[in-house]
Amino acid sequence: MQHLQTRAIALPQLGLGTFRMEGDDCREAVESALELGYRHLDTAAMYNNEAAVGAAIAASALKRDALHVTTKVWHDQLAPAAIRRSLQASLDRLRLDYVDLFMVHWPAPDMDLPAIFATLAELQAAGRVRAIGVCNFTLPMLRAAIDAIGAPVACNQVEYHVLLDQTPMRDYLAAKSIPLIAYCPLAQGTLADHPELGAIGRKHGASAAQVALKWLLDQDGVAAIPKARRRASQQANLDALALRLDDDDRRVIAALPKDRRFVNPPFAPAWDEMPD
């Protein structure tokens, strides 16, 4: 497992996403993943599963510093006092003294970036979080946070898969040595039956989903957090790390449409907003 170095943390390149997993299902999935060797767990206050993730961590024999745990604050909790309350509630549910990465889950139209990052910096200085990041930020938002106010952003977590181009975002982050974390890396499961990816997979004795995942993980500075409830799926995602795609495979993937977005809630930002 490769790790991406960013802002004094080492981020395992492949993690376990937990969105839409709750209760015992989530706890059992996380326990399984930890047994298989996963060390990067991604959750959020909005997922309603931090307690289940925390129970799985507590049940493991792993030392705390062997794990990377990410959680997030929801977009309606971005006032300084609300951020502090959200983090404390998350830590209580996770049964942890700190998280490795604390992220703004979605941007808000009226967010006060200097106040947000000043608060996050206070929490980091207090040892409650090891690094801070953002999710679903557009390039102009990133420029406002990183270039204008100097926020120590450790990563941007965005939807990214073989059917959605993120080249401008990747280029900007790479220039700053900041990783991109790909959520929805299998396009909500639709890539499992993708014909072109399936053909590539058959050539290598792999599945279409493994091809899609390895395409992401082959890119410098990119991590991925596929959700996988079943142990077999968790193992298959780990096995994708050993897959070797060739230039012909990459040309086929490059020719696929790159404009399909699967996560676009009503409160999402204007994705096509261009940087100044």
* 47 is a catalytic site residue: yes
CA–CA dist 271, 275 (Å, integer):
11
Closest by alpha carbon to 134, among 3, 16, 6?
6
Amino acid residing at 93: R
Q: How far apart are CA 184 and CA 158, in angstroms?
A: 8
The CA-atom distances, in angstroms, between 51 and each of 5, 21, 47, 130 are 28, 12, 10, 20
By three-state DSSP, how is residue 253 classified?
helix
- 183 beta partners: 159
**What is d(CA 227, CA 148) in angstroms, rounded to the nearest whole number?**
34
SS3 29: helix
User: What are the b/e assignments for 236-253, b being 16+ CB within 10 Å?
Assistant: bbbebeebebeeebeebb
By CB atoms closer than 10 A (0-12, 13-18, 19+), residue 57 is: buried
User: Residue 1 gets which letter from DSSP?
Assistant: -
- In terms of Cα–Cα distance, which of 226, 212, 237, 221 is closest to 162? 212
Which residue among 47, 160, 172, 183 is the active-site one? 47
Take residue 97 and report the two structure tokens written for it: 């003294």
| CA dist., res. 39 & res. 181, Å (int) | 15
E strand residue ranges, 160-208:
180-183
Catalytically active residues, by annotation: 47
